[in-house]
Structure 1
Amino acid sequence: MSPISMSRAAAEEFAALVLSWLTEDHARIGGFLAWSGLAPEELRAGLAEGTLLPAVLDYLTLDEAMLLEACQDLDYPPETPMTARQSLPGGEIIHWT
């Protein structure tokens, strides 16, 4: 069975929604900033450089409870974060043969 895919644009849109969801709660965004090592003012620069959105999805996938909560709040299926991450740079699936 082939993996479900998502366009890069759709993956970026989803990751931006997750980032917005993170910023709605001080504990969530604080956890992301601590994990990423970014200062709040560096969020905009990361968005402009295109490096932030993959990190947002990496962070979300570290905590299943948070992932499920985000997907429920955003009304997406729970497999969406991984599908989106695979569509962004550095998220390619490696097939071992």
Structure 2
Amino acid sequence: MTGSRKSADALGEAETIALRVLGFIASTEDLFDVFVNASGVSADHVPTLAEDPEFLAAVLDFLLMDDRWVIDFAKAEGIAPEVVMQARAGLPGGDLPNWT
């Protein structure tokens, strides 16, 4: 597999996880309101923004703010919690150092 193909696959997988996170946020009582308020994004614009990798990175950043949210998402999806951080690394800005 060529490097660009591998990168495209990784981006696609990261976007898929981020879309699943967005669905989780939208379906979790009160969490969508917290997301909309924290991001300043209109709820009406979320479907359009969901096509933007930078927005999807912000969705993952939001979920990663709270370990409980990450764990709840991972349980609901039947995946390891680390998958969320791995997906974040595959989206724009994910290669930036984490200073915390």
Shared fold (TM-score, shorter chain, > 0.5): yes
The structure richer in helix per residue is: 2
Give ranges in structure 2 of 5+ residues lacking alignment.
1-8
Paired residues of 1:71 and 1:78 also in contact (CA < 8 A):
yes
Percent of aligned pairs with the same residue? Answer: 27
Give ranges in structure 1 of 5+ residues lacking alignment.
1-5
Structure 1 residue ranges (4+ consecutive) displaced by more than 2 angstroms after TM superposition: 48-51
Q: Distance in 1 between the 2:55 and 2:90 partners?
A: 14
Instruction: Tell me how large the CA RMSD over aligned residues is.
Output: 1.8
Q: How many residues align?
A: 90
Q: Choose which of 2, 5, 10 in structure 2 pairs with 1:7.
A: 10
CA offsets 1:24-67 (integer angstroms, 9 cap, x no match): 12401111111111110121231233332111100010000111
TM-score by length of 1: 0.83
Q: Choose which of 59, 73, 79 in structure 2 pairs with 1:76.
A: 79
